[in-house]
C-alpha cells in the first residue's frame, strides 16, 4: 500500500535525523534557551525582513493555535475564522477551552474575505449592546487552508488592511505553510507574511520535521510574556534545542522550500491525471492536497493499492476523497498513482 | 412615553415588594438555606409532579445559563443550540468563558428540531476522529424563544426522545417561561417540562420578580454539588431568602401564571391590531414579544409616543421592530397602542 | 434568639425598601444604564476626590472579586493575598476557576505587610526562570479583614508605594468597608482608598443594602471594557437601577457611614464587656466583628439566648466564637448581650 | 565544563536515535493510533500486573500534569500537593489555568504524609460550609520529589489507603520515576504504583528519551475520553508513534531501569564524596539529585569546572547547590567530580 493519506505519516527528512544524531552527545540549556533555537531564529529571520520579529518553537499545531490565541486575547474577545477552520472543527474545542469564542464565517473553499471580516468587525463597532456580545479581535486564517487553497498576495493585503482598520490581529496558521508557499500559484512569500500579519507559524510537523512549529510573532504587543503563556499551556519543550535544531536544518539552505515545492509538483501531476481522466476536483487546489469527486467504484479500486482519505459522501454513487502528497512521497509512488488514475 | 421596549423595565409586582417589606425585620440564614427558599421550592414543586427535582434560586439569566451548563459538562463536551440562542449571541461568550464550545444549528424562528439535534449527535457518534471534535452533550432551547415562539408538547417530546437516545441533557432556558406557558397556543405545562427535560429554569426577572431565576434540576446526575458550582460562579446570593420569598409569592397562588397570561393577552391585542392594519409579522409569535415589519415612517410615527426595540433594517424603506408586553403593562397603555396602530 | 451570627441576616435598611417601593411604578433602561446608577455614582464620587474613577454596581462579593481580578490579569498573572483572604478560603476556588493562581502570604490577624508584598514581587523580579512561575500582578486585601482588623493609613500608603514600585495593582475588598471606615481606630477615608488603590469596592450587602457592591475603578487601565467582563461573568444585573437606587439612598446623605459606625459602636460595647469580664480577644478588632476565646461552658450558656458563630476549637476546654453586629442590630439587643456577658 | 546541572541536557540514549532512524522510512497512522504505541503499552504493561490499565503517551511533564488533573476533576474540585510540588511552584499556574485550585500542604523534604492528606480531606468532610470551599479530590505526589527523596512502599500504601477512604484520586508525577525506582533505598516497583495509584506517569524526557511521558491510567473512571482531553490540551502528538517507539525501546529489555539505576549509583558516589569531605546534605537524597550546603568559596571553586544548579543562599557564607546525574553522565565525569570534591 502506498500512503497518500496525509502529510504527517513519516518521521523526518533524513537530514533532520542526521542533525539530531550528530549533536546527541552535546549538552544544552533547557526550555528553548540554547544556540540552536537562536540559530534557527536567525535563519528564519533571513527570510522575513523584519528584525523585530520574535520566533518561538512549539511542538504541534493545535498547541500553537490556542497558545497564540489565548495569549493575545482578553477574556471577552473572540477570534474570527472560516467555518472550516481547523480551530473550529478539528481541535476538540481547544480555543473555547481557553475561554474564547470563535466567530465562524461561511468560508468558500476554506477561505474568508476581507469584506466578511469587515462586516463582522463593523457589526461590533456599531452595536449598541457591545457589552452583550464578544469583541472580534483576531482573525485566524490558514495558509494553505483545509482544502488546499491559498490566499493571493492581493487578498492577504486586503485582509491585513481591514484588520488594521478595525484593530484586529491577523494570525496565519501555517501548519502547511511550505506547501502553500511552494504552490505554482502562490505569489506570497515569508516576507509578505511578516509584513501583513501580526503572528503566523511555519509548520514543521507536516513539512519535513519530526515535529515542531515555528511561531513568528511580528507585533511587539503579542511578544511580551509569550514564553510564560507557552509554559502555562504545556507548550515549552524541556529540550527546546530539538526544535531549534530541526528548523535550523530546514532553513539554513532552503531545504524547507525545496521539499515542499517538490511535493506540490507531485500533487500537480496527480491533479492533471485526474483532470485528464475527466474526474472533477471537489475544490480547485494547487497545493499538496487534492480533493476529487469519484464514483464509489473508483474509490474502491484505488483503495486496493493506495491509502487516501475518504472525505464525504456526495451522492449515492459518488464520494469526495483526498490525496495528499508530502516531503516524504517518492517519485515512483506518484508515478504509480498517476498511471493508475489514467488507467481507470 | 409608553414603554414596550422590553419585559424588564419595571421593578416588581407590588405583592413582591410587600412581601419584602413585611419580612424586612426578620433575620434568616444565608446562602439559600432558609425557610423561604424551602417554601418556594415546595410551591413550585406542586406544579412539577416530580418529587426528586431540586430547586435553586439564582439571580439572573446569563448566570443561570453558564452555571447550569458548566456544572453539567466535562471539558470536551459542548452545548447545542439555535444560532439565535441567547447563550450564542447575547451573553458575551459566557459559556465559552467556562471552557465549552457552543454548536449552533440554523434555527427557524428561534427554534431547532429534534431532527437537527439527532443529526449533530449522530455526526459525533459515527465520527472516526471523535477525539478531534467536541462531544455534543447538552441541548439548550428557550421557551419562549428570542423570537417569542414556543415549542409544542409534541416537539418537546420528540426533542426529549432524541436527547435520551443520544445521551444528551436537555436544558430549557425559561427566562420568559411565564409568557411561554401563558400563550394561547401553548400546550406545555411545568409538569411537561419536569417530565421532558433534565434541567430548566423559571424566569423571575422578566415575569414579575425584582430579579431571580428558579433553576429546577430534574436529573439527579446534575443535582450533586450544584451549590458548589453556584458559589464558584458567583451565583449564590448571600441573602438567598430574598429570592425564595419572591418565588414563594409568585407561586403560592398562581400569581406567576396570572400576570404572564395577562401580558400575553395584551400582546395578542397588539398582534391583532397590526394584522388588521395589514402590517406583517416578522415572525409569528403568540407570546409577549411581537415582531413586525413596518415602513420606516411608521416606525418613526410610533416612536413619538412609544418606546420599542428596533431590531434590524429589512430594506431601504422597511425595518423590523419589536413590541414587548409584560406583567407591568397596563390595560390603558395597550389600549392606546392598539388605537394608534389602527389609526396609522 | 438574638442573632449576632453575621452582618447579612436581615433585608435592608427601611429607607432602601421605601426607595424601591416609591420607584416601582417607573420604568428604566436595563443593565446599569439608568439615572439611578448615574446618581449613585455621582454621590459616591463626592467622597472620592477622583473624577476619573468609574463606578459599577455588582450583585455580590464573590462575583465582584473574581470579575475584578479576571478582568485585570493576563493568563499567567497571579493575585497576592493573605492566607486568610476570602478569595483564598471561602469562595470555592472562584478565582482559580477564572484561570488565575492565588499567591497566599502568611497573614497576621488577617493582614499582610508591604514588606511581604515586596518580597513576593522581588522574588519574581530577580527570578531566572520567570517563565516557569506566575507573575504577581495584583494585591488583594480586605478592609476590614476576615478578623475585623483594619489597615492604618500609613500601612496602606506603604502597601500602595510597594505596589507602584513593582507594577502591581492594589485591590481592596470592601465587603465590610462601612464597618472598617466607621471604626474608632480608622484613619482611612474613601478619599484615601481612591488615592492609594487601583480598584476597590464598597460593600452594600453587609452594610444596609438588600444586596449589591459598588466597584470603584480608579486606574483607567482597568476601566476599559469592564462592562463586557461583567456581562461575561453574569455580573450585570438586568434591572441595574435596583443597585444604583440602593447606593444612591445609602450615600446621598451619609446613611451608609452612619449605620455602620453605629454598628461599630455596638461592637465596642460588646468588646468592652468581654474585657471587663476577663474574657480574652482572639484577635484585637475595633470593627463590627468580635472574636473571643471562651470556655466551652460559656459558649453553651450564651448559645441559649444568642446566635453567634463558632469559629474553632482552641483546646479541650476553650473555643473561639464570633459576635457580629450590623446596621440591623438594635440597641436593646446589644444591651441584653452586654448584660449577659457581664453576668457570666 | 562538565554538566551536572540537570537531567534533561542531552538528547536521547543512542538506542532511541537508532530506533528513530531505522523506522524513518516507514509510514504510520497518526495521533497515537499505531503499532509502536501499542507495543510500548504492551511492554510497559508487563511491569504493571494490571491488565485494565490504559497507557497514553504525552510530550512533556507540565502537559501531562495539567491534562491528567483537568480531565479528572470537576470545576469545584482541587488537587492536594506538597508546597514544593512542581505543579505548585514551577508550572506558571498551569493547573489553575485549567480552573482548579491547588491545596498546598507543608512538605518535609518534598514529601507529604497520609496524615496530612487525611486532615485536609476530613476538614472538607466535616465542613458546614462545603459549598464555600473547594473539594479536595486528587492527591498529587512526585516520585522522586523535587528534592530527590522518595516515598517508601509503606508510605505509599498509607497514602493510598487514605485516598480510598476519602474518595481521592492518587496521582504520581513520575518525571523522574526511573531515578526514583532505581534508588538503592527504593522498595517500590511499577507494580506497586499500578496497585496503589489511580494514575501515574513514567518520565521519558529526563530518563533516556528525546522527550515523552507515558501516562498510565489505572482507574477506569479516569480512562474514558482521556484522548479527547489530550487533544483539547494540545497533548496529542500528530506523529504519536515517535513516542511509542521511544518507550518501546526503553522498556522492551529494561533499558529504562538500567540507565536510571546507573545514574543513581553515580549520584551515590558523589553523595559519599561530599560526606567524606564533611560537606552536609541539604536534604538526604538517594536518587540522582544531590543537594549540599557548601561555603560560597567552595561553590565558586567547583563552578570553574562544573555546571550545577545554585539553589539558594543559606547564610552570608553558605549556599545550597544541586548536582544532578542522569542517564547521559559518563563514569569519567563522575570520577573527575568525586576527585575534585575530595580534594577540596
Dist. CA C120–CA C141, nearest whole Å: 15
Those of residues 217-246 in B touching chain C at CB distance below 8 A are 228, 231-239, 242
Per-residue pLDDT of chain B (344 residues; tens, 9 = 90+): 899 999 999 999 999 999 999 999 999 999 999 999 999 999 999 999 999 999 999 999 999 999 999 999 999 999 999 999 999 999 999 999 999 999 999 999 999 999 999 999 999 999 988 999 999 999 999 999 999 999 999 999 999 999 999 999 999 999 999 999 999 999 999 999 999 999 999 999 999 999 999 999 999 999 999 999 999 999 999 999 999 999 999 999 999 999 999 999 999 999 999 999 999 999 999 999 999 999 999 999 999 999 999 999 999 999 999 999 999 999 999 999 999 999 99
C-beta atoms of C12 and B29 within 8 A? no
ipTM: 0.96
Task: With beta carbons less than 8 A apart as the criterion, state whether D186 and D265 touch.
Answer: no
Chains that touch C (3 or more CB pairs under 8 A): A, B, D
A17 contact residues in D (CB cutoff 8 A): 17, 20-21, 24
Q: What gap in Å lies between CA A204 and CA A237, rounded to an integer?
A: 15
Q: What is the dihedral of CA B87, B88, B92, B95, to 10 degrees?
A: 60
**Is D230 within 8 Å of B71 when comparing Cβ atoms?**
no
DSSP code of residue C102: E
Comparing CA positions, the residue from A193, A156, A181, A151 lying closest to residue A48 is A193
Residue from D33, D75, D101 whose CB has the most chain B CBs within 10 Å, to mutate: D75
Chain D CA closest to residue C129: D90
Search chain B and give the residue with CA nearest D225: B131
Whole-number Cα distances in Å, C312 to C289, C294, C296, C322, D131: 15, 11, 11, 10, 19
CB atoms D230 and B131 under 8 Å: yes
C·D CB contacts under 8 A: 54
Give pLDDT tens digits for A243-273: 999 999 999 999 999 999 999 999 999 999 9
| Whole-angstrom distance, CA of residue C169 vs CA of residue C138 | 4
Under the banding of pLDDT at 50, 70 and 90, the label for residue A277 is: very high
Q: Can you spell out the DSSP letters for B153-176?
A: HHHHHHHHHHHHHHT-EEEEE-TT
pLDDT in tens, A205-238: 999 999 999 999 999 999 999 999 999 999 999 9
> pLDDT value at position B323?
98
* Full set of structural domains in chain D with CATH: 2-7+256-342 (3.90.1150.10), 14-253 (3.40.640.10)
Residue C174: the pLDDT is: 98
Residues in A closer than 8 angstroms to C74, CB to CB, are 225
Compare all CA atoms of chain B with the CA of D32 and give the residue at the minimum distance.
B131
What is the interface size between A and C, counted as CB pairs within 8 Å?
46
Rounded mean pLDDT of D240-251?
98
Give exposure, B243-279, as e/b (b: 16+ Cβ within 10 Å).
bbbbbbbbbbeebbbbbbbbbbbbbbbbbebbeeeeb
Question: Is A132 in contact with B93 (Cβ distance < 8 A)?
Answer: no
Residues of B in contact with C211 (CB under 8 A): 237-239, 242
Residues C101, D96: C-beta atoms closer than 8 Å: yes
Q: Do A100 and B89 touch (CB under 8 A)?
A: no
| Closest alpha carbon to B193 in B39, B47, B51 | B47
CB contact under 8 A, A236 and C131: yes
D113: distance to nearest CA of chain B, Å? 27
Give strand pairing partners of A307.
A3
For residue D128, the model assigns a pLDDT of 87
For D79, nearest residue in chain C (alpha carbons):
C93
Q: Where residue C74 falls among pLDDT bands split at 50, 70, 90?
A: very high
Q: Any chain D CB within 8 A of the CB of A75?
A: no
Q: Tell me: pLDDT of C128 over 90.
A: no
Query: To probe the interface with D, which of A63, A229, A237, A239 has the most D CB atoms within 10 Å?
Result: A239
Put simply, the answer to whether B91 touches A132 (Cβ < 8 Å) is yes
Q: Decide if B121 contacts B168 (C-beta within 8 A).
A: yes
Ranges assigned E (strand) in chain B: 2-3, 54-58, 77-82, 102-105, 135-142, 169-173, 199-203, 213-217, 281-283, 289-295, 306-307, 309-313, 318-324
Proportion of chain C above pLDDT 70, given as a percent: 100
Distance CA B159, CA B300 (A): 41
Q: Mark yes or no for CB contact D238/A60 under 8 Å.
A: yes
List the subunits that have 3+ CB pairs under 8 angstroms with D: A, B, C
- Do the beta carbons of residue C57 and residue C237 sit within 8 Å? yes
A-chain CB neighbours of C232 within 8 Å are: 75-76
Reported as half-sphere exposure (CB side, CA atoms, 13 A), residue A23 has a value of 23
**D59–A237 C-beta distance less than 8 A:** yes
Residues of C in contact with B59 (CB under 8 A): 59-60, 234, 237
Measure in Å the smallest separation between the Cα of D87 and chain C Cα atoms.
10
Task: Please give the angle made by the CA atoms of D32, A174 and C73, to the nearest 5 degrees.
Answer: 85
Is C99 in the B-facing interface, judged by CB distances under 8 Å? no
Considering chain C, what is the average pLDDT of its residues? 97
CB < 8 Å to D10, chain A: 24-28
Partner-chain contact B92 C3, CB within 8 Å: no
- Report the SS3 class of residue A61: helix
The chain D residue lying nearest C134, using CA atoms, is D92
Closest approach of A182 to chain B, Cα-based (Å): 28
Report chain A's mean pLDDT, rounded to a whole number: 97
Which residues of chain C neighbour B8 with C-beta distances below 8 Å?
A: 30, 238-239
Nearest to B133 among A76, A90, A134 (CB): A90
Q: How far does CA A1 lie from the centroid of its chain?
A: 27
The three three-digit cell numbers of residue C326, written as one number: 450590623
* A215: contact with C, CB 8 A cutoff: no
Amino acid at each position: 500500500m502506498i500512503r497518500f493519506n496525509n502529510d504527517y505519516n513519516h518521521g523526518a527528512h533524513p537530514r533532520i535525523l542526521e542533525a539530531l544524531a550528530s549533536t546527541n552527545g552535546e549538552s544544552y540549556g533547557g526550555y528553548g534557551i540554547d544556540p540552536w533555537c537562536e540559530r534557527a531564529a536567525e535563519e528564519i529571520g533571513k527570510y522575513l525582513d523584519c528584525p523585530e520579529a520574535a520566533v518561538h518553537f512549539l511542538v504541534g499545531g493545535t498547541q500553537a493555535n490556542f497558545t497564540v490565541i489565548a495569549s493575545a486575547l482578553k477574556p471577552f474577545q473572540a477570534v474570527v475564522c472560516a467555518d472550516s477552520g481547523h480551530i473550529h472543527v478539528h481541535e476538540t474545542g481547544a480555543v473555547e477551552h481557553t475561554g474564547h469564542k470563535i466567530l465562524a464565517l461561511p468560508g468558500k473553499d476554506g477561505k474568508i474575505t476581507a469584506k466578511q471580516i469587515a462586516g463582522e468587525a463593523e457589526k461590533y463597532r456599531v452595536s449598541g449592546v457591545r457589552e452583550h456580545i464578544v469583541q472580534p479581535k483576531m482573525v485566524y486564517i490558514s495558509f494553505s487552508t483545509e482544502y488546499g487553497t491559498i490566499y493571493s498576495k492581493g487578498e492577504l493585503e486586503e485582509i491585513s488592511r481591514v484588520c488594521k482598520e478595525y484593530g484586529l490581529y491577523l494570525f496565519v496558521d501555517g501548519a502547511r505553510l511550505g506547501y502553500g508557499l511552494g504552490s505554482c500559484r502562490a505569489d506570497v512569500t515569508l516576507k509578505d507574511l511578516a509584513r501583513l500579519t501580526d503572528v503566523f507559524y511555519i509548520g514543521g510537523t507536516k513539512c519535513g520535521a519530526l515535529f515542531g512549529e515555528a511561531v513568528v510573532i511580528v507585533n511587539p504587543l503579542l511578544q511580551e510574556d509569550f514564553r510564560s503563556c507557552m509554559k502555562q499551556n504545556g507548550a515549552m519543550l524541556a529540550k527546546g534545542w530539538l526544535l531549534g535544531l530541526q528548523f535550523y536544518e530546514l532553513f539554513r539552505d532552503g531545504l524547507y522550500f525545496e521539499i515542499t515545492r517538490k511535493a506540490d509538483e507531485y500533487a500537480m501531476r496527480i491533479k492533471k491525471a485526474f483532470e485528464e481522466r475527466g474526474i472533477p476536483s471537489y475544490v480547485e487546489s494547487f497545493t499538496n492536497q487534492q480533493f476529487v469527486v469519484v464514483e464509489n467504484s473508483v474509490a474502491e479500486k484505488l483503495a486496493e493499492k493506495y491509502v487516501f482519505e475518504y472525505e464525504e459522501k456526495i451522492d449515492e454513487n459518488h464520494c469526495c476523497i483526498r490525496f495528499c502528497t508530502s516531503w516524504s512521497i517518492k517519485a515512483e509512488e506518484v508515478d504509480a498513482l498517476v498511471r493508475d488514475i489514467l488507467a481507470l
